[in-house]
Structure 1
C-alpha cells in the first residue's frame, strides 16, 4: 500500500492533475509502491507556465536582499530535514545513507552559492566613441525557465536545476524524473515554499512515464519559456537540445560521461584503489561522473587490480535503509538488465570478470575497444581495468570517446598530472583524485556529447540571464541628414 499521495505543485499550491490521473512511484529495492503521484498532462504544463509567467514580473523586481534571504533560509531548512531525505532517497531511488546525506550537504551549499550570486554586478560600463553617451551592458533575467531533474542525485540536481535561475530573477517550471518525482522535484519545491518563495515562482509538474516525451515537449515549446536546463542521459539530451534549438531557446545540458581514472606508475596504489572504488561504485555507479575505465600503467596493473578486486569484493550490498549498506540497488530492472548485458557481452568476447557479475559490484579486465562496455556509459556497478604502456596511451584512450565530462589522474607528481590534465578532453579533471567531485562555486559541465553550458557560481547565473546594450545620451547628437 502506498505510504503517501502527492499532487502537482502549481501557483504555490498542491493540486491534482486536471485529468485526475495518477502514477505509481516504486521503491527500487522492494518493488513496492512508495507513493502515488499526480500524472500531469500537456494542459497541466500550460497552467504551470501560466503561474510562472504571472509571477515573473514580481519576482524579477524583488530586491536582491529579499531573494538572498529566501535562498539562505531554504538552505538551513534543508539541513534540518536530513533524516527525511535519507528515508526518502532510500525508499524512492535506493540511495544509501551516506549518499543521501551528501545530497543534503551539497544542495544546501548550492542554495547558499545562489544566495551569494543575487548581488553579483548586473552590468558594466562600456567604452563608446559617441560624445556625451553612457554605454551600458545590463544583465537581466530571461523569464520562465524549463528545468529537468534526474533521479540519480535527486536532491542535488533538482536544487541545481532551479537555484541559479531563481537567483537571477527567473521563474521556473520543473519536471522531475518519473523515477523520483518527490526527491527530484516536489521536495525542494516544498522547502523553498516554506522558506518564503512567492507563489508561482517555482512550479512542479510530475507525470507518468508514458507521458514523459509529450509533457517535456509541451514545456520546452511553450512560447513563454525562454530557456531550458536539462541534466540526464546524452540520448535524451540530444532530443531536448534539438527541440530547444528549433525554437531558438538557449539550453544548458549536463549529460552522460565515459569517465577515465588514470593510475600512473608513480601513484600510491593503496590510495588509488580507494579512489577507484569510491569513484566507480558510489551510488552503485549511477553518477554521471562515475569511473567507467581505470587506465593503469602496465608495470603496476596486476598489483593494482588484485588490490581493487579484494576491496570491491568486500563491499556490503543490500537494503539502502540499512546504515551498513555501501551499495544499494540500481534504479529499476531495465537498468539492471542493461548493465548485466554489457558485462555478459564483454565476457562472451573474452573479457574476464575478476569479481562480481551477479548483480554485485563487478570488476573486469581483458577488455578491448570493440566491446560495448569499453565504449558505452555503464551507469551501474561495474568498471573495467585497462593496462596502458605509458601516459600517451592513457590520454589517447581517455579521449577516445564521444563523451567529455570528467577524468581523474592518480599520481604523486602534480606537475606531471597537470600536464596530462591539459591534454584530456573533458570539462572537468581532478589531479590526485578520482572523478566524482562537485562544488557549487565551480563551473560544472562537459564537452563533446557530455553537453554544453555550465552550472555553478557566476557561470550558472550568466547562463540564465540576458545581456542587453543600453545607451543614455546626455547631449543632443549630430545627424548627417
Structure 2
C-alpha cells in the first residue's frame, strides 16, 4: 500500500465496521480542516447511533475467537502494526502536523509515545498471568486466571489523537479484547481511521477493531452506554468524563477515565531559577499548552518571583510561532476558534482582576502568542480553570507550606512538578501534592509507556500504561479443580 494511504491525503471518506470500509452514503459529513490554514483537508462520514450499534455488535461477535488465538498469534499482529508505524513514520508525523496542528517536537514525541505503548503491548499476552491458591477444602486446587474484559469502547481526544487512541487500542487488542473507537471530530483520521488502516494491514481479523468517527453530541451517549461495552476508556474534560462514566456504570462497564488537569509547577527559594524556567517553557508551551498535563500554574517563592517572571517572559517571546509543518516552529495553531476564544477570555478576566500581562495575550487567526501573567492569584480565571493554551500565570508563595496549599487548591489532581535546591525538600513537597504524578527537577509533561499514568480527584480514575493497563483491560477468573472426591455434610 502506498505511503499516501497513511497521510491525510489518502481516501478517508468511510467508516470502518466489521472489517469493511463503509461509504458515507447519505450520512452527514465531518469537514476536517488544517488549523494552521483553515483549509479543508478531507471529509469523513459522521457515524449514526445505528453505526455505533453495528460496530459494537461486530466487536462482540469477533471477540471470543480473537481471544482464543494463541498469544503468539496476537503478538504477530501487534508486531506487524509496529513495523507499519516505523515504515510510515514520516507520513504519520506530517499528518499530525496538518490535522492536529502539532509542531515538530510535539508530533515526534506523540509518535514515539504511541510507538512505545504498541511495543509494550506486543509483550502483554505473555505478561498477563495467573496464580494458584491453596484451598480450605481437601483435594482442591484454586486457579486464578486473567481473561480479557471483552469489548472495549474508546473515546479519544483531539490534542494527542494518535497516541491517546493507540494507548488504549493496542493493549486492548493484544490482551484479546475487541474495540470500538470513536475519535474526536476535529481529528478523525490520525485519531481513528489511520489506526484502522494500520491494523487492517497488520492482519487483524474482521470485526476486532471498529472505528466510528462522529460528533459527541450525536453518538457520544450511545458509545458510552452501549450494553455490549465492558470497558469505556475515555480521555477528555472532567465535565464530559463524569457523564461518560455514569453512563458506563449504568451497564456495569468499567470506566477508565483520564480527565482534566490544573497542574502546578512549584519553585522554592533555593531552586536553580534557570533550570526551573527552562522546564517551565517546555511544560507550558509544548503544543500551545493544549496538553492535559501541561503547566497550568507557576507557583514561585516570592524571593525568586521577579527574576522568574523576567526570565520566563524573555524565553516566551523568543519562541517561533507559525505553521507546524515548518521544522523551526514551536508554537502552532490552536485547534479551533472556540478553544482560542475561551482561553483568551480567561486572560482578559485575569487582567481585569489585577494580573499584569507581561507578554502575549493576543492572537492572529488561530495562533495565540505565548502569554505570561504576573501578579496572578489562584482564583483568577487563567489559574483556577484548565486554560488549555500557551498561558503561564505566575503566582507568588511565601513558604513551602503555602505553595503546597496553593497547588492543592483545585478540584484536579493529575500532574505536578517541583524545583528545589535540596532533593529531600523537593520530595517532601512532591509527597504533599495531591496528584497522580509528580516530577521533581522537571515539568509535568511526562509519559512513559511502562509507567502508570493517571490522576486523582476530578482528574480521573484508573491508570494507563505498563502493568497498570493490564488490570484495566483484563479481569480475574477463579477456576477450582476438585482433584479428590469431596465429602459433603449431607
- Determine if the TM-score, normalized by the shorter chain, exceeds 0.5: yes
Partner of 1:156: 163
Distance 1:100 1:369, change over 3 A: closer
Between the aligned partners of 1:424 and 1:370, the Cα distance in structure 2 is 18
Partner of 1:295: 299
Asked whether the 8 Å contact 2:12–2:189 carries over to 1, the reply is no
Question: How far off its partner does 1:225 sit?
Answer: 1.4
Alignment counterpart, residue 461 of structure 1, candidates 470, 476, 488 = 470
Partner of 1:413: 422
Distance 1:225 1:321, change over 3 A: same
1:313 aligns with 2:298: no
Asked whether the 8 Å contact 1:241–1:253 carries over to 2, the reply is yes
Between the aligned partners of 1:396 and 1:117, the Cα distance in structure 2 is 40
Unaligned runs of 5+ in 1: none
1:202 aligns with 2:174: no
Between the aligned partners of 2:238 and 2:344, the Cα distance in structure 1 is 20
Alignment counterpart, residue 449 of structure 1, candidates 455, 458, 464 = 458
Alignment counterpart, residue 342 of structure 2, candidates 335, 338, 343 = 338
Q: Number of aligned pairs?
A: 478
Question: How far off its partner does 1:166 sit?
Answer: 1.3
Between the aligned partners of 1:336 and 1:306, the Cα distance in structure 2 is 25
What TM-score comes out, normalization by structure 1 length? 0.97
1:136 aligns with 2:143: yes
Asked whether the 8 Å contact 1:122–1:140 carries over to 2, the reply is no
Unaligned runs of 5+ in 2: 1-7, 364-368
What TM-score comes out, normalization by structure 2 length? 0.95
SS of alignment partner, residue 441 of structure 1:
coil
Alignment counterpart, residue 373 of structure 2, candidates 364, 373, 394 = 364
Partner of 1:402: 411
Between the aligned partners of 1:242 and 1:18, the Cα distance in structure 2 is 33
Question: How far off its partner does 1:187 sit?
Answer: 1.0
Between the aligned partners of 2:239 and 2:39, the Cα distance in structure 1 is 29
Correspondences of 1:228-247 after superposition (within 5 Å): 228-247=232-251
Asked whether the 8 Å contact 2:416–2:437 carries over to 1, the reply is yes
Partner of 2:273: 269
Alignment counterpart, residue 226 of structure 1, candidates 218, 224, 230 = 230
1:338-378 deviations in whole A, cap 9, x for unaligned? 00100000111111011111131100011223322221101
1:161-199 deviations in whole A, cap 9, x for unaligned? 212211221000000000100011111221122122112
Partner of 2:386: 377
Between the aligned partners of 2:224 and 2:201, the Cα distance in structure 1 is 28
Partner of 1:58: 65
Between the aligned partners of 1:72 and 1:430, the Cα distance in structure 2 is 32
Between the aligned partners of 2:159 and 2:38, the Cα distance in structure 1 is 17
Q: Could you say what the CA RMSD is over the residues aligned between the two structures, in angstroms?
A: 1.5
1:127-179 deviations in whole A, cap 9, x for unaligned? 21111000121111111110011110111111012122112210000000001
Partner of 1:255: 259
Question: How far off its partner does 1:5 sit?
Answer: 4.0
1:367-408 deviations in whole A, cap 9, x for unaligned? 223322221101011011111111111111111100000000
Asked whether the 8 Å contact 2:378–2:406 carries over to 1, the reply is no
SS of alignment partner, residue 260 of structure 1:
strand
Question: How far off its partner does 1:121 sit?
Answer: 3.8
Distance 1:163 1:4, change over 3 A: closer
Question: How far off its partner does 1:70 sit?
Answer: 1.6
Asked whether the 8 Å contact 1:149–1:161 carries over to 2, the reply is no
Asked whether the 8 Å contact 1:128–1:135 carries over to 2, the reply is yes
